Amino acid sequence: MPDLLSEIIFIFQRLTWLSLVDLFLVTLIFFVILLIVRDTQAMILLRGVILLVILLSLLTSLIELPAFSWLMSTMLPSLLLAIPVIFAPEIRRGLERLGRAGSSPFFIQRDERALEATRQMVRALVTAVARLSAKRHGALIVLQRSESLEEYAQTGVRLNARVTPELLLQVFYPNTPLHDGAVVIAGEMLVAAACVMPLSSSGILNRSPDRQMGLRHRAGLGISEASDAVAVVVSEETGLISIAHSGRMIRRLDSERLEGILLAFYQPATSAGGVLDLIRHFFHRERQPNRPE
C-alpha cells in the first residue's frame, strides 16, 4: 500500500497543464465517439470489440505466448483501419450533426406574414393527421427545414400544391397510387408524394415495447437521422400519431400536442431559447420507455 501511494503521488507531481490538456483531448475524442454511436447497432459491436481487446491483452500479458502475441500485434493495424469502414454511417451522421450545429434554423428571422402562412400549413396538416388517425389510414409526412430534401422528393411524384387537409387525405387514402411512401412538405407547399425515405439504422425501434411499428416508423426515424427534417407518422394498425426528429421518436400524440410541437419548430428567433427548451423537453422524455395506454 505505501508503494502504491508513493506511485500515485509521483504521478500527480509530474502532472503539468499540458498533461491536463492532453488528457482532456483524449477524453473528448472518446466521448464524441460514444456520442456518435449511441442508440445504434454499432454500440453493440463496439462493446464486443472493447471486450475482445481487453481479453486478448490480459491473455498476452499474463501468459507467455510469443506466437500469439506476434499475431495480435500484426493484426492490430488492420483492425484500426477497419474501424472507419465498420462505423462509416455513424461517423457520417455525427459529422453531419456537427455541421448542422452552426446553422440552426431557430435563429432565422421570419416576418409575420410568413409565420402566419406556416401556422395555416401546420393547422391543415394537424387536421388531416387527426382524421387519418381516426380512420387508421397510415401516413408519413416529412417537413423540410434548413436542409434540402430534393434528392428524396425526386424519388416520388411531383405535386407542388398548397397543403390542405383534403389533399393529404386523398394522397394517403388506402390503395391509391400515392398512398405508399412519404409526402415531402417544404414551406407551405406539398412538393412530392410517394417518396422513398431511408430506413433507420439505429436500434431504438427494436428496443421499443411496441412491436407494431413498421416501415413507416423506420422511414420516419431514418429521415430524421439523415437530415434535420421533422417526420410525422400515423400508424395504419393502431392509428397512433408519432413524430421523429434528430433520431428520436415520441408517440401517442394528440392533435393539440402535435400542433404545439410543430409550431415550436417555426417560432421566430426572439424566442429561440424557449423553443429549444420546449423541444428538448419533448424529445428527452422519450429516453424513458413508453408507458402503456
Asked if residue 128 has pLDDT above 70, the reply is: yes
CA atoms within 13 A on the CB side of 54: 6
Question: Which range marks the domain in which residue 125 is found?
Answer: 110-287
User: What are the residues whose beta carbons fall under 8 Å from the beta carbon of 45, sequence distance 6 or more?
Assistant: 86
User: What are the residues whose beta carbons fall under 8 Å from the beta carbon of 158, sequence distance 6 or more?
Assistant: 191, 192
pTM: 0.63
> What is the percent of the chain with per-residue pLDDT over 90, rounded to a whole number?
30
Count of the separate structural domains present in the chain: 2
Instruction: Judge if 141 and 280 occupy the same domain.
Output: yes
Instruction: Judge if 258 and 215 occupy the same domain.
Output: yes
Identify the pLDDT of residue 36: 66
Beta bridge mates, 98? none
**Average of per-residue pLDDT across 121-146:** 93
Taking only the tens place, the pLDDT of each residue in 42-53 is 666 667 777 777
Asked if residue 292 has pLDDT above 50, the reply is: no
Asked if residue 123 has pLDDT above 90, the reply is: yes
Taking only the tens place, the pLDDT of each residue in 5-15 is 777 776 777 77
**Average of per-residue pLDDT across 182-190:** 93
Identify the pLDDT of residue 106: 41
Provide the mean pLDDT of the chain: 77
Q: How confident is the model at residue 290 (pLDDT cuts 50, 70, 90)?
A: very low
Segment holding 280, helix H or strand E? helix 272-284
User: For residues 130-154, b (16+ Cβ closer than 10 Å) or e, as one string?
Assistant: bbbbeeebbbbbbbbbeeebeebbe
Instruction: Judge if 45 and 184 occupy the same domain.
Output: no
Q: How confident is the model at residue 99 (pLDDT cuts 50, 70, 90)?
A: low
Q: Exposed (0-12), middle (13-18) or buried (19+): which is 78, by Cβ within 10 Å?
A: exposed
Residue 143 lies in a domain: yes
**Average of per-residue pLDDT across 20-39:** 78
Residue 292 lies in a domain: no
Residue 181 lies in a domain: yes
Asked if residue 55 has pLDDT above 50, the reply is: yes
Instruction: Judge if 280 and 212 occupy the same domain.
Output: yes
